[in-house]
Structure 1
Amino acid sequence: MKKILIPIWLLGLAAGCQEAPVEASFAASETAVRFVGAGPAATRTVVEADGTEISVVWGSDDVIGIFGRGATAGNNYPYAAAPERNEPSQCTFASTDMDKIFKWNRGEQAFYAYYPYAEDADAEPNALPVVLPTQQMQNGPGSTEHLAGLGVMKAAPVTRVFSEEDPAPVGFTFRNLFAMVEIRLKMAPGTAVDVPVRRIRLLSEAAPLTIGAGTVDLTAPVADDPLDITDGKKEAVLVFGEQPVLNKTDYQSFWLMLAPGRHPEGTLALEVTAIDNSTCTTTLPAVAFKANCNYRQDAALSLDEFVPAEAFNATAAVTECRVGEPVVFALSGEAETVDFYSGEKFHQWEYADKDRLEYSDVFFSFRAQMQGGAQLHPLTVKVSTDFDGTFEEPNILTAAWTDVTTRFTLPTKPWTANNGPNTLERYLEEGRMISSGEVNLSAYYDEKSPYLYVAFFYHVDKYDATLKNSRPGIWFTDIMAVRAEGDTRIPILSQTKETVHIVNGDKYAEGEAGSDWQGTPYEYNGTTISPLRMWCVNNPPGDRDAYAVTNKLERKVSNFGPDKPESVKGGGNGDAPRLQLRVCGTGNLRNRTGGPEQDAHRRNGNGLPLYGDGKTLRS
């Protein structure tokens, strides 16, 4: 492919390749060993750039790891950086663990340090594990913030024999194990459109660019190539938090951290993928990346050289299957990722583009007893999601209530032996109080609100001697609600004056005895029992309405977000693998970039649709 190249690999920007000798003096403060950082700017850790130079400074969140050998031994002690305010190139390091502090002892002592500190790096200092991720993310246009998190440094080993006459601290000079590379891109002159970039890849045929697994010997002298790479990756991929756009006017900088290595002429390629998955591939000049060095390469890209990606396609080997049986899909073309929704919980197609909300169950129960003669209008139990929480008759009557009476067991005849259960003996009397049973009210909640009110509506009819309804009433104990979250049951309401509100309607005469709390509360099995009674005066001269309304009962709503697919293919290499999947319920190969261009409906043995919609490109 023809490309406009400016072969200007720049080595050692801002003294990146300079090496400073270890300071000759060291120090002790009482018995604790003190450590300081030293050396040129290119050996510190937080990266900043102005387009031509890179300066690196210590940050207060930086923590190094130190190994001690000889007279003073210690394995991977964490020490935090404390930069000097006026000169950040100088900083001290303080222990973050009081049980891991180096102290001077008689005899020769050696110290080996690295950055960043890894808590699990307790191996010997001559084989410290090192990785450099293949995928790296640049936050925004020209940003170098990500480089600080990718850099791994080792310090030149320091050996010392303790002397009370030498007051200088132990000084570490750090050196980055990797190379920092700036790729500057723009479109060629005359390009008519700007090009949004999805990703950038460097590919090498000669040497690893990133490290899946490797080690570094902290005890060895600082060298140009101090790494032992056991799992090298010959590619580096740069993705973006904020998508960059290339134009023909200004260069945009893209930063990568790469492993040291030599890449002869014709072995190193730059691949730029545009938003539409078309790619432009450029062969780069020969270069030898060295540790602790900075490089730059400029390139201008021609729009004509972007090659469209091969259309992705998926076909199923069968048109019918049973749940649990494997289904084989043949994949072809280019795809960033193929996502599969198996139909299992948290992997269901119907929740691909909407949040999965799960609600706890709310159970309600009580015990009740009728008394006082015939009752033409028995108690009713109702629920509401729009009651405003004002416990007055007009507000109660304004709300919309759903009658759920038939779901509960209620007393069918008055208790005539004596008065209501306002003592423990009567509370326990067999047959007096009728249990309503525990009823799940979850179906009556509105998805827009987590709250529900329960109310008892009680109507007293005018006295009629033929009916013998001299003083009808109904008693309640043990009104309660619990919320079930899995196997956990949480009480959310129990019968008290603060949780159940008695309201006598306006047909009750002023001062007339009406519905109220009865007797002194008593204890049973650690629970306080406070009976309440809905009733009226003897021989009521007219109809009466009374209400007992609970506080709002809240159920818990858990938002798990949209369901996640299983990523079953990645890399975008244009290959055509065979994909074997097991379907549980309804499965789906998803197309994120549009409708199901090749929608093929299949049926499994249970009659559930299995959708294979052809193209699956992640945007």
Structure 2
Amino acid sequence: MKKILIPIWLLGLAAGCQEAPVEASFAASETAVRFVGAGPAATRTVVEADGTEISVVWGSDDVIGIFGRGATAGNNYPYAAAPERNEPSQCTFASTDLDKIFKWSRGEQAFYAYYPYAEDADAEPNALPVVLPTQQMQNGPGSTEHLAGLGVMKAAPVTRVFSEEDPAPVGFTFRNLFAMVEIRLKMAPGTAVDVPVRRIRLLSEAAPLTIGAGTVDLTAPVADDPLDITDGKKEAVLVFGEQPVLNKTDYQSFWLMLAPGRHPEGTLALEVTAIDNSTCTTTLPAVAFKANCNYRQDAALSLDEFVPAEAFNATAAVTECRVGEPVVFALSGEAETVDFYSGEKFHQWEYADKDRLEYSDVFFSFRAQLQTLAGTQVHPLKVKVSTDFDGTFEEPNILAATWTDISARFTLPTKPWADNGPTKEDRYLEEGRMIPSGEVNLSSYYDEKSPYIYVAFFYHIDKYDALKNERTGVWFTDIQATRQEGENRTVILSQTKENIHIVNGANYADETKNYSDWGATFIHDGVEFFPWRFWCSSKPTGDRDAYAVTNKLERKVSNFGPDKPESVKGGGTEMPRDFSYAFAEPGTYETVLVGRSKTLTDETETVCRFTVTVKP
């Protein structure tokens, strides 16, 4: 495999805190111990790169922990750094807890310090717990801010006997326990595209790079390798807050904090994962990482050496189950994100990219009766609906609208009655007189352009001719429209003169009486009724057309937005190898797993569909 490497590990010592000015002397037998930084230090609050060296200064948020033994004893007392205003590398340390202040006592006293302070680190100073996370995050291109939260320092032990003739404060010389490593990367000359980087890994076959569990002896002298590692991890992973992009022109710096250790030739590898999950693996030169040192390695990567990742796929051995029994999907390949749509309501793939609109149902019903003395036309009535009627209750406007005949969905009267219709309660109640139409759901007649619909009754009587076709009238009561949302129903229209608009057509012009109109009101069960009738004169001299149109009937539209999936894998997380889901209700579900991955120039989407049958 061809590798383009600049095999140079560059080393530099960390520089830092110097002794600060102090008062010439102090008195009293219980004088508080003063602590200062007294030599090269490495606190990771502020890290600045300067060539091949790391320059480190203290920050006001830094807190160290101090153990005292001998004449002055104390476990894990917190002391905060107070940098000099004009020279931050010079600092004193002040107690942050009035109950935990070291005071001078007669006799020999030893002090052991570490950074950063850990409140729960109350163990003996010879076994202070130490960890170094395997996954580390760099905020942006070239940033070293993340190193501040990764390093651990110990100070060289200090033993003193208090003397008023020698009142100098205790000076700590800190040393970083880890190595700071800078990997500088760019693409090889001639690379046609820039390469966004998803993550960087260092892998070793020889020694740990990070620490799951370990200890450091604060009482021991500072050494090149002061750690006792009980759980070492032979990898370090660097991920990013702001995604870096490699080009062929400029190096970009990537910083890691690593455990000390030797990595002979051929045991240390650099793995770079691009945005499309392809990987380029490079063997690095031999190196021995030492504590408190800064290393640098440069590499130019060839696009040809990036190995494509296996494409995402999902399979299911079984797609039939019972309620509560999980269906297991096996996942293979790589994807940046994986989403699961169960097929249940509000979790359906068909609504992934469009709003889910829920419409209320609108139901319509009435009661009607045919009435005649010698009528032979027993089908004078049609029921129609329109979504484009303009709301002007006049014959030209009614006829200009588009009407859909829905008469067949209702039960219409067929038996003519010889006497008058329901103008009083006893006729309203008389069995067989007023025929219930049945309740019809009008929801399917609405369109998405408007939430409104109109219902109209069309009345037609043919001209009296040789067939002796007499008139037939139609009485109406109990016209009602209700809107249903879930389990709740609301009456949105009832039979009143304000809600029903009767229009006699132009062919009634020769009539002198017997127009279609409202009848006499009556009271039933405490409710006032407004019956009305389609009607015309006996033996009409021409065709007769009349209409009755309701006010508009509005249905409610609820917009729930696109359906939401369950996230199986988010960006930056490890790819799981299976996923299970249990359905709570029986049924047949169109289930979808969607894997999305970025490429160097675009994005791909893989959709895996399953029909899952869930039995009770």
TM-score of Structure 1 vs Structure 2, range by shorter chain: 0.5 to 0.7
Q: 1:97 and 1:23, CA in 2 relative to 1: closer, same or farther beyond 3 A?
A: closer
Alignment partners' CA distance in 1, 2:291 and 2:423: 86
Alignment partners' CA distance in 1, 2:424 and 2:210: 79
Whether the 8 Å CA contact 2:319–2:327 is kept in 1: the answer is no
**Deviating more after overlay: 433-442 vs 257-266:** 433-442
Alignment partners' CA distance in 1, 2:32 and 2:523: 65
TM-score, normalization by structure 1? 0.56
Specify the alignment match of 1:607 in structure 2.
Answer: none
Question: What SS class does the counterpart of residue 9 from structure 2 fall into?
Answer: coil
Whether the 8 Å CA contact 1:378–1:458 is kept in 2: the answer is yes
- TM-fit CA distance, 1:270: 0.5
Q: 1:195 and 1:24, CA in 2 relative to 1: closer, same or farther beyond 3 A?
A: farther
Alignment partners' CA distance in 2, 1:252 and 1:83: 32
Question: What SS class does the counterpart of residue 148 from structure 2 fall into?
Answer: helix
Q: 1:274 and 1:161, CA in 2 relative to 1: closer, same or farther beyond 3 A?
A: same
Q: Deviations over 1:122-154 (max 9, x none)?
A: 122111111111111111111111111111111
- TM-fit CA distance, 1:545: 40
Q: 1:361 and 1:192, CA in 2 relative to 1: closer, same or farther beyond 3 A?
A: same
Alignment partners' CA distance in 1, 2:550 and 2:105: 73
**Deviating more after overlay: 181-190 vs 20-29:** 20-29
Q: Deviations over 1:397-443 (max 9, x none)?
A: 9999999999999999999x999999999999999999999999999
Question: What SS class does the counterpart of residue 508 from structure 2 fall into?
Answer: coil
Whether the 8 Å CA contact 2:41–2:174 is kept in 1: the answer is no
Q: 1:440 and 1:222, CA in 2 relative to 1: closer, same or farther beyond 3 A?
A: farther
Question: What SS class does the counterpart of residue 21 from structure 2 fall into?
Answer: coil
Alignment partners' CA distance in 2, 1:68 and 1:528: 96
Whether the 8 Å CA contact 1:201–1:235 is kept in 2: the answer is yes
**Deviating more after overlay: 384-393 vs 152-161:** 384-393
Q: Deviations over 1:516-572 (max 9, x none)?
A: 99x999999999999999999999999999999999999999999999988767999
Q: Deviations over 1:137-193 (max 9, x none)?
A: 111111111111111111111111222221110111111111000000111111122
- TM-fit CA distance, 1:86: 2.4
- TM-fit CA distance, 1:239: 1.0
Q: Deviations over 1:33-53 (max 9, x none)?
A: 111112126566421114443
Q: 1:177 and 1:22, CA in 2 relative to 1: closer, same or farther beyond 3 A?
A: farther
**Deviating more after overlay: 303-312 vs 386-395:** 386-395
- TM-fit CA distance, 1:329: 2.1
Q: 1:374 and 1:191, CA in 2 relative to 1: closer, same or farther beyond 3 A?
A: same
Q: 1:521 and 1:176, CA in 2 relative to 1: closer, same or farther beyond 3 A?
A: farther
Q: 1:409 and 1:570, CA in 2 relative to 1: closer, same or farther beyond 3 A?
A: same
Alignment partners' CA distance in 1, 2:533 and 2:102: 76
- TM-fit CA distance, 1:100: 1.1
Alignment partners' CA distance in 1, 2:535 and 2:556: 36
Specify the alignment match of 1:132 in structure 2.
Answer: 132
- TM-fit CA distance, 1:322: 2.9
Whether the 8 Å CA contact 1:27–1:168 is kept in 2: the answer is no
Question: What SS class does the counterpart of residue 481 from structure 1 fall into?
Answer: strand
- TM-fit CA distance, 1:58: 0.2
Whether the 8 Å CA contact 2:370–2:378 is kept in 1: the answer is no
Whether the 8 Å CA contact 1:368–1:474 is kept in 2: the answer is yes
Q: Deviations over 1:90-138 (max 9, x none)?
A: 2001111111111112222111111111111112211111111111111
- TM-fit CA distance, 1:330: 2.3
Q: Deviations over 1:312-340 (max 9, x none)?
A: 21101112223321222222223456566
Alignment partners' CA distance in 2, 1:66 and 1:535: 105
Alignment partners' CA distance in 2, 1:21 and 1:42: 20
Whether the 8 Å CA contact 1:382–1:405 is kept in 2: the answer is yes
Alignment partners' CA distance in 2, 1:103 and 1:181: 40
Q: 1:88 and 1:18, CA in 2 relative to 1: closer, same or farther beyond 3 A?
A: closer
Alignment partners' CA distance in 1, 2:476 and 2:99: 63
Q: 1:456 and 1:297, CA in 2 relative to 1: closer, same or farther beyond 3 A?
A: farther
Whether the 8 Å CA contact 1:138–1:240 is kept in 2: the answer is yes
Q: 1:614 and 1:388, CA in 2 relative to 1: closer, same or farther beyond 3 A?
A: same
**Deviating more after overlay: 360-369 vs 264-273:** 360-369
Whether the 8 Å CA contact 1:366–1:437 is kept in 2: the answer is yes
Q: 1:210 and 1:557, CA in 2 relative to 1: closer, same or farther beyond 3 A?
A: farther
Q: Deviations over 1:494-520 (max 9, x none)?
A: 9999999999999999xxxxx999x99
Question: What SS class does the counterpart of residue 9 from structure 1 fall into?
Answer: strand
- TM-fit CA distance, 1:345: 13
Alignment partners' CA distance in 2, 1:96 and 1:507: 100
Q: 1:108 and 1:194, CA in 2 relative to 1: closer, same or farther beyond 3 A?
A: same
Whether the 8 Å CA contact 1:312–1:332 is kept in 2: the answer is yes
- Number of paired residues? 576
- TM-fit CA distance, 1:204: 0.8
Q: Deviations over 1:210-268 (max 9, x none)?
A: 11111111111111111111111111111111111111111111110111111111111
Alignment partners' CA distance in 2, 1:526 and 1:41: 94
- Flag the structure with larger Rg: 2
Whether the 8 Å CA contact 1:337–1:570 is kept in 2: the answer is yes
**Deviating more after overlay: 158-167 vs 488-497:** 488-497
Q: 1:309 and 1:463, CA in 2 relative to 1: closer, same or farther beyond 3 A?
A: same
Q: Does 1:613 align with 2:596?
A: yes
Q: 1:194 and 1:384, CA in 2 relative to 1: closer, same or farther beyond 3 A?
A: same
Whether the 8 Å CA contact 1:44–1:174 is kept in 2: the answer is no
Alignment partners' CA distance in 1, 2:420 and 2:99: 72
**Deviating more after overlay: 484-493 vs 27-36:** 484-493
Q: 1:567 and 1:432, CA in 2 relative to 1: closer, same or farther beyond 3 A?
A: same
**Deviating more after overlay: 270-279 vs 546-555:** 546-555
Whether the 8 Å CA contact 1:43–1:292 is kept in 2: the answer is no
Q: 1:464 and 1:189, CA in 2 relative to 1: closer, same or farther beyond 3 A?
A: same
Q: 1:430 and 1:318, CA in 2 relative to 1: closer, same or farther beyond 3 A?
A: closer
Structure 2's unaligned 5+ residue stretches are: 510-515, 578-594, 601-614
Structure 1's unaligned 5+ residue stretches are: 510-514, 579-611
Alignment partners' CA distance in 1, 2:245 and 2:94: 44
Whether the 8 Å CA contact 1:44–1:89 is kept in 2: the answer is no
**Deviating more after overlay: 60-69 vs 429-438:** 429-438
Q: 1:615 and 1:169, CA in 2 relative to 1: closer, same or farther beyond 3 A?
A: closer
Question: What SS class does the counterpart of residue 32 from structure 1 fall into?
Answer: coil
**Deviating more after overlay: 17-26 vs 48-57:** 17-26
Question: What SS class does the counterpart of residue 42 from structure 2 fall into?
Answer: helix
Whether the 8 Å CA contact 2:378–2:472 is kept in 1: the answer is no
Alignment partners' CA distance in 2, 1:528 and 1:98: 85
Question: What SS class does the counterpart of residue 223 from structure 1 fall into?
Answer: coil
Q: 1:614 and 1:18, CA in 2 relative to 1: closer, same or farther beyond 3 A?
A: closer
Q: 1:255 and 1:317, CA in 2 relative to 1: closer, same or farther beyond 3 A?
A: same
Q: 1:135 and 1:531, CA in 2 relative to 1: closer, same or farther beyond 3 A?
A: farther
Whether the 8 Å CA contact 1:370–1:475 is kept in 2: the answer is yes
- TM-fit CA distance, 1:310: 0.9
Q: 1:115 and 1:423, CA in 2 relative to 1: closer, same or farther beyond 3 A?
A: farther
Alignment partners' CA distance in 2, 1:267 and 1:17: 36
Whether the 8 Å CA contact 1:455–1:549 is kept in 2: the answer is yes
Alignment partners' CA distance in 1, 2:100 and 2:286: 47
Whether the 8 Å CA contact 1:13–1:294 is kept in 2: the answer is yes
The CA RMSD measured in Å over matched residues stands at 10.8
- TM-fit CA distance, 1:362: 26
